[in-house]
């Protein structure tokens, strides 16, 4: 007995795209009106209400100093916007602004594999933002120099004390020999090396290394600039075109939802296609 061919399956959840387009066309005035109002509002805020903000940027390589005397890249980033650095800038350029509010004008970021420090300063005018970054660079350089010099002097004092302590026990021998100053120092060096062996040589090398760093410290701490403080040519915010675009897109989406909502409320929204 021949089997009957199966009837084509009908779906109750099919959407009539033509009906959807008709709804959008029927409610186009609502959608376009919302878009126009949103764009006009965003334009008014962007051009007449929101104050312009200018950003000046500075980029520099982190100082390349002995790691025992320096800081980690993360510590440099925190130090860049710390009170010891920002307070001199605030005192000279914005003495009436609290330090907490003043710190919000600065942003810091590590770049280039944590070897480059990037700092931005924002202000109502281009010239003020440039002055902020220039003054910050001076304060940051001075702050880093002060910290490194303090650590270096402490390490050098410890190295000198270490060498002196090794030679102290042999001073009496040098006095007993009644040698001239140059010969006495040489005799003490030989006696200390003989008495303490490699430990004394290590102490001398450490002291020499620190003295070399001290002699070359100004050149080592001189900032290596990638981007010096410059006058910004345009405000960084408000971003007028972006604001207008976002307002138009959001208003268009709201308008579409409202159009379908009204049609549904009135009972004329497109429903499933009739069952065949």
Across the strands, what pairs with 61? 116, 224
The 10s digit of each residue's pLDDT in 114-130 is 899 999 999 999 999 99
What's the confidence (pLDDT) of residue 256?
Answer: 92
The 10s digit of each residue's pLDDT in 232-260 is 999 988 888 999 999 999 999 999 999 88
Q: How is residue 53 annotated by DSSP?
A: B
For the chain, the structural domain boundaries read 27-50+240-260, 51-237
Residue 170 clears pLDDT 70, i.e. is over it: no
Residue 268 clears pLDDT 90, i.e. is over it: no
184 or 269, greater pLDDT: 184
The 10s digit of each residue's pLDDT in 125-169 is 999 999 999 999 999 999 999 999 999 999 999 988 887 777 665
- For the chain, give me the number of helices (H) and strands (E)? 11, 4
What's the confidence (pLDDT) of residue 70?
Answer: 84
What's the confidence (pLDDT) of residue 147?
Answer: 92
Rounded to the nearest integer, the mean pLDDT of the chain is 83
188 or 60, greater pLDDT: 60
The 10s digit of each residue's pLDDT in 173-184 is 555 555 455 555
Domain formed by 51-237, architecture: 2-Layer Sandwich (3.30)
Q: How many CB atoms lie within 10 A of CB 146?
A: 11
Chain length of the chain: 276
Give me 117's structure tokens.
């420090």
CA 254 to CA 246: how far, in whole Å? 12
Residue 112 clears pLDDT 60, i.e. is over it: yes
What confidence tier does 1 reach under pLDDT thresholds 50, 70, 90? very low
Whole-number Cα distances in Å, 212 to 44, 156, 157, 208, 209: 62, 11, 14, 6, 5
pTM for this entry:
0.72
């Amino acid at each position: 007995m021949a089997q009957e061919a199966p009837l084509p399956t009908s779906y109750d959840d099919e959407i009539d795209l033509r009906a959807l387009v008709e709804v959008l066309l029927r409610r186009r005035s609502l959608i376009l009106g919302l878009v126009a109002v949103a764009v006009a509002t965003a334009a008014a805020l962007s051009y007449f209400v929101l104050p312009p903000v200018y950003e000046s940027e500075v980029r520099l390589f982190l100082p390349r100093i002995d790691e025992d005397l320096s800081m980690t890249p993360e510590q440099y980033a925190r130090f860049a916007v710390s009170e010891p650095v920002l307070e001199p800038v605030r005192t000279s350029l914005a003495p009436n602004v609290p330090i907490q509010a003043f710190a919000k004008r600065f942003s810091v970021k590590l770049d280039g594999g944590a070897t480059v420090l990037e700092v931005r300063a924002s202000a109502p005018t281009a010239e003020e933002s440039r002055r902020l970054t220039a003054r910050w660079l001076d304060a940051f350089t001075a702050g880093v120099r002060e910290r490194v010099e303090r650590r270096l002097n402490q390490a050098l004092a410890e190295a000198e004390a270490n060498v002196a302590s090794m030679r102290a026990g042999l001073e009496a021998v040098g006095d007993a020999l009644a040698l001239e100053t140059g010969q006495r120092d040489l005799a003490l060096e030989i006696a200390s090396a003989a008495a303490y062996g490699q430990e004394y040589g290590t102490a001398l090398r450490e002291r020499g290394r620190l003295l070399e760093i001290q002699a070359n410290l100004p050149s080592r701490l001189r900032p290596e600039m990638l981007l010096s403080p410059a006058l910004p040519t345009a405000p960084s915010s408000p971003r007028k075109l972006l604001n207008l675009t976002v307002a138009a897109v959001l208003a268009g989406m709201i308008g579409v939802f409202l159009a379908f909502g009204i049609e549904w409320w009135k009972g004329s929204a497109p429903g499933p296609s009739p069952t065949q």
